[in-house]
Amino acid sequence: MRRIRILLVLALMPLLLGGCGYNKIQGADEDVKAQMSEILNQYQRRADLIPSLIRAVTGYALQEQEVLLGVTEARAKVGSIQATPELVNDAAALAKFQAAQGELSSALSRLLVVTENYPTLKSDERFRDLQVQLEGTENRIAVARNRYVQSVQAYNVLIREFPVNLTAKMFGYAVKPNFTVENPDALAKPPVVDFSGLSSRHPKPPASEPAKNEALPANND
């Protein structure tokens, strides 16, 4: 009889766990890990492009050592972090990873700004190809990060819902950390608008002409 009861419990276990959201938690957890894996793949793709980019720029702008060194050091810092899909469960490690990637993004931005001063470099076919690849990778990173954020949000909402929250607590599933906004200070600043060209397109009226909004002097004749 006891054996029959055990077999019955084992047979009903999938139904019991499914009804309490266990299967949904598993699916959501795997989706978060998959989205993180895609982020890591795209960041690695970017890191792999950097040595060739550095060589291309060095051939035309060797004097930009400070900028080139900044990119190299930022890439090395990223490489020193043990980045795995398990970052989704470690808030401190995820924050460190994001900070390092942010520094590398800033260093690359500075490098691309510097290249604007070298027309010969910009016309180099190899450099143009690398720049296109880098821009495409940055776009894929942005898409992957957005999907990860949405996946984590869905997971965190799920494990807070009743009765799924009871199942999550029973099996040790906790809220996962998410990416934070990069450069929040920059977001708080108003956009810079360039009015330098407006004066040539819309010259001021001569001093002798009255402004449109000014009333003309009354004619006393």
Residue pLDDT tens, the chain, 221 long: 555 544 444 443 444 444 588 999 999 999 999 999 999 999 999 999 999 999 999 989 888 999 999 999 999 999 999 888 888 999 999 999 999 999 999 999 999 999 999 999 989 999 999 999 999 999 999 999 999 999 999 999 999 999 999 999 999 999 999 997 654 443 334 334 333 333 444 444 444 444 444 444 444 44
Q: What is the distance between the alpha carbons of residues 59 and 8, in angstroms, rounded to a whole number?
A: 73
User: Do residues 13 and 19 touch, judged by C-beta distance below 8 A?
Assistant: no
Instruction: From residue 28, give the alpha-carbon distance in Å to each of 20, 60, 128, 152.
Output: 14, 49, 40, 8
State the DSSP string of 61-102: -TT-HHHHHHHHHHHHHHHTS---GGGGG-HHHHHHHHHHHH
Query: 181 near 212, Cβ under 8 Å?
Result: no
Q: Domain residues of the chain, as ranges?
A: 23-182
Provide the terminal-to-terminal Cα distance of the chain, rounded to the nearest Å: 121
Q: Please tell me the distance from the alpha carbon of residue 8 to that of residue 16, in angstroms, as a whole number.
A: 12
Domain covering 23-182 assigned CATH 3.40.190.10 in the classification: no
CA pair distance 189, 150, nearest whole angstrom: 26
